[in-house]
Structure 1
């Protein structure tokens, strides 16, 4: 088994989030750094106003590569992989469609619902986790299956590459002895053949049912420097717990509160309803980015980690020469998805990927 010390080194190698030290606009409260989100200070910005650079790539639509809703993407040295409802599509860096990777089904080597997708830097293979079949799969650039894990006890929702192999995070909902609903996320390490090496302590959260379902949108990793943090939003919209904090993993595998985002207005209104809800956080060398929900709308808050100033836009950023607003996504890299002109008569507009370099 891998020692706890080695696991800590492994997690620090992930480079999830980097701490921001005593910048202007960050308050201190009991040792916990607080960044305030001034909800009334809204503006309108274009992507080029805040990003150092970005590359726009229109994806070629053929009869084999028609795309509905895009779940996430991964970018290797030679290819772009797009995960959508029907499977995984491979494009080159110019956006030309190459092939489908794997097949949607239940046979060995198939997947049903890809939840997380990464590029293994060791060999540029594409590695995915399947939520329905509870397993991980790895394909090479030609689409050949290289490895497939055994079925896990809980659905995997996240995977990241580390020197020893992969970090897997699984998600499960159970009832305790009092019939309360518990959410359990297990963290463990696998080698590159998906053999389990060791585990960290699970995260357990008690949540309430809301409309028969639980609202869940894990947001675990964006990469920056070497300080190890994660953000873990979980729970229904009527939950009174405010999930607004980055957590640091200490040497015992515990999750310690480190950095908090605080709204300028009350999160809970007079009727006891939660009106502000942070959906995800992304950290890069230039910004803390927070996407939050308020009264049916999404807002994007950016905090400049070097200058200490911030900005806030409703619905997301604009893109030059395109209509609409767009929220950034992240799956190891940061990107926007927009629509272009369709090359197939009568079909939906071609999607376009904007790969973002936020700067330093």
Structure 2
């Protein structure tokens, strides 16, 4: 099992141990994503029952990593990105890189308005093979690329990015998706190949409302979440359904 899937699997195991049974006639409840990648899910209707399962049935390798707690390494854990040798931790205003022993390696970029700087972050992706890290803003016009030593490589200009989520493909190209508002549609997906050629793709089925019934702007209350725990670039959009 790849390390990218580890956190998702652990969460599912906890849910299974606490609450899930199995339907009559099913060995397991599952959803087939691709031929070689399966996500296991639980049926909420079965939460009244429980059954025991061994962690070893789900996970072949597990370890707890204590991240360095020096002043320069402190970060509010919001989103975590794991590769074979690195752990990237993102909060809205910082991206810090650690190794698998928890040692702090470097900051990736910094807050500001100059080259290689950002205001507020929302998504990230790491590619060890090509020595690249890409950061996506909460709102902005550019993706930012760095190497694993924290050195700024380039800015990839885009018309607009709203809560961007990014993913490196095996060939080193980039995929971007973000919130696309119905009242001002832009694009839903962007592919940037290794030569810098950009391909924009629209998908009206993913448009979200940015205005409520009273005409107030609520667009940024919506969230787009990519767990990066499948072989495909899967994501979910959560529309606002709560009063603040």
Which category of TM-score, normalised to the shorter sequence, fits these structures?
0.5 to 0.7
Q: Does 1:237 align with 2:244?
A: no
Aligned CA RMSD, in angstroms, stands at: 3.7
Residue of structure 2 equivalent to 1:209: 212
Contact in 2 for aligned 1:73/1:81 (Cα 8 Å): yes
| TM-score in terms of structure 1 length | 0.47
> Structure 1 CA distance, aligned partners of 2:58 and 2:29?
22
Contact in 1 for aligned 2:142/2:157 (Cα 8 Å): yes
Q: How many positions carry a matched residue from both structures?
A: 202
Residue of structure 2 aligned with 1:165, choices 173, 187, 196: 173
> Structure 1 CA distance, aligned partners of 2:154 and 2:86?
20
Q: Which has the higher helix share?
A: 2
Unaligned runs of 5+ in 1: 1-22, 28-33, 177-182, 240-360
Q: Which has the higher strand share?
A: 1
Residue of structure 2 aligned with 1:110, choices 117, 128, 143: 117
Change (3 A) 1:236 1:109: same
Q: Does 1:138 align with 2:141?
A: no
Q: CA deviation at 1:140?
A: 0.9
Residue of structure 2 aligned with 1:92, choices 74, 93, 99: 99
| TM-score in terms of structure 2 length | 0.66
> Structure 2 CA distance, aligned partners of 1:164 and 1:123?
7
Q: CA deviation at 1:122?
A: 3.2
Deviates more, 1:119-128 or 1:183-192: 183-192
Residue of structure 2 equivalent to 1:65: 73
Residue of structure 1 equivalent to 2:224: 218
Change (3 A) 1:232 1:88: closer
Q: Bigger relative contact order, structure 1 or 2, given CA contacts below 8 A and separation 6+?
A: 1
Q: CA deviation at 1:195?
A: 3.8
> Structure 2 CA distance, aligned partners of 1:125 and 1:171?
24
Residue of structure 2 equivalent to 1:38: 45
Deviation sequence 1:84-117 (CA, Å, 0-9, x none): 2441112221101222121111112101222111
